[in-house]
Chain A
Amino acid sequence: MRATVLIVDDHAGFRAGARRMLEAEGWDVVGEAVDGASGVDAARSLTPDVVLLDLNLPDASGLELVTTLPASAAVVLTSTHEEEELDDLARERGARGFLPKSSLSGASLAAIIAAG
């Protein structure tokens, strides 16, 4: 069975691009959300394996949202920022890791989950 992923990002272009890229590499994109509140709702109802969560959402910081998402989902934070320290911060907050948007691919997302 394909791994399921929920994309939470306020940029429609990124959501569409990420969906195409992940689906092309075998992921099952089960939903998209545009902000923190709808992201948390979607994560609860869709119970994805992975939540790809933007760091800067209109209503919240992705870092602050990690603990409000279902524990069953592996959370990977993403952003156009690329500081190594964001990976430390993400892990400190309980996320599986941080993946810069410029490096996003099905394989790189799978690698973070596997390394978890």
Chain B
Amino acid sequence: MTTDATTSTQADNAALTAVLAAALDAVITMDGTGRVLSFNPAAERTFGYRAADAVGRDMADLIVPPDLRDAHRRGLSRHLAGADPVVLDQRIEITGMRADGSEFPLELTVTRIAAEQPLFVGYLRDISDRRRAEAELKASRARLVTASYEARRRIERDLHDGAQQHLVMLSMTLRLVRAQTPDDSPLAELVDQAIRELGEATAELRELARGIHPAVLTQGGLRPALRALTRRMPVPVDLTDIPDGRWGAAVEATAYFVVAEALTNVARYADAQQASVSVREEDGKLVVCVSDDGRGGADVNAGSGLSGLRDRLDALGGTLEIDSPPGGGTRLLAEVPCES
């Protein structure tokens, strides 16, 4: 080797050492027998071993939880025996173990260095914080959706306990006045008119309250609430298999508003002759299906109604699928986890 080449190799090694020392990810090299060859500072911070203690040890014993070690060793043996690599050169998420035995989620890429002897380099990153943030985000979205349903229920209850009660009182008083007013009195017509207008105001307020949150859903659950909903629809709706049970308020409200939104779309856009609604409980989920024989072509991204529904379902860990080929009717399938 020439002096220049030696200098160049030394420079390369120094650069490699600096890269590994500064790397934010744990970088561990391992030979074909599973022994640790190098353990960079990030690996020391991540796993709690000093490099001097880690090098030469069996890597599985060091950083793989006991119940996963056999699988790790079998995979390595299979690969060395010529099987196609399963985990090489791709990002995977696994569970790692620190020196104190605590386990944590990590993401990992393993690559094999082309050399006479098998040599593997693993790049590993502790993703505990990300997982925690994801879990908190998911929980907070679910809380927001649940809180929005609770707020709607509270508004409906406040309307019911407040304005609607007062209007009912007023209606009773007016009817008493009317009962005591002779039919030929000039007041009779005025009182009748007041009763009619009050009836219209009460009906409008009742419709508003029902749209915010239907009382029959709180009182009786999904089955009577869906019966009431479908009865008001201008398109005939076949309502089948609606279970009689009760679920959490957010689950029932989500399932109800899925059907309400879907049927509103059927009435407005589908030009359908018939629609059908079914609900069943399956594997801890309420599976809600709304279909029609209309013109199809519904797009979940086109209107705020369906995309808003999908957001709410997503926040609760549920799903929304729409199959709506042009001319082929629309089928909306939603799954709501019962534990929401």
Contact = CB atoms under 8 A, between A and B. Distances in A.
A8 to B, nearest CB: 15
B160 interface: yes
A85 B227 contact: yes
A82 to B, nearest CB: 6
A23 to B, nearest CB: 10
Interface stretch (A26-34, A40-48, A97-105): A97-105
B169 interface: yes
A83 B207 CA distance: 10
B111 interface: no
A109 to B, nearest CB: 13
Interface residues of B, number: 29
Contacts of B175: 21, 105
Contacts of A18: 172
Given A85-B225, A102-B171, A102-B199, A13 B216 contact: no
A59 interface: no
A24 B219 CA distance: 32
B168 A63 contact: no
Most chain-A Cβ atoms within 10 A of its Cβ — which of B161, B168, B206, B228?
Answer: B168
A14 B220 contact: no
Contacts of B157: 56
A14 B169 contact: yes
A86 interface: yes
A85 to B, nearest CB: 4
Contacts of B161: 11, 56
Interface residues of A, number: 26
A89 B224 CA distance: 8
Given A11-B165, A18-B172, A86-B216, A81 B160 contact: yes
Given A56-B160, A102-B202, A89 B169 contact: no
Given A61-B219, A105-B175, A84 B168 contact: no
Interface string B298-327: 000000000000000000000000000000
Most chain-B Cβ atoms within 10 A of its Cβ — which of A14, A83, A84?
Answer: A83
Contacts of B219: 55, 61, 63, 81, 86, 89
B231 interface: yes
Contacts of B160: 56, 79-81
A102 B225 CA distance: 21
A102 B173 CA distance: 11
B176 interface: yes
B220 A85 contact: yes
A9 to B, nearest CB: 10
Contacts of A80: 160, 164-165, 167-168, 206
Interface of A: 11, 13-14, 17-18, 20-21, 24, 55-56, 61, 63, 79-86, 88-89, 101-102, 104-105
Given A56-B161, A85-B227, 14 more contacts: A11-B161, A17-B168, A17-B176, A24-B176, A55-B219, A56-B160, A79-B215, A80-B167, A85-B216, A85-B225, A86-B216, A86-B219, A86-B220, A101-B168
10 contacts: A13-B165, A14-B168, A24-B179, A56-B160, A63-B219, A82-B206, A83-B216, A85-B228, A86-B216, A89-B224
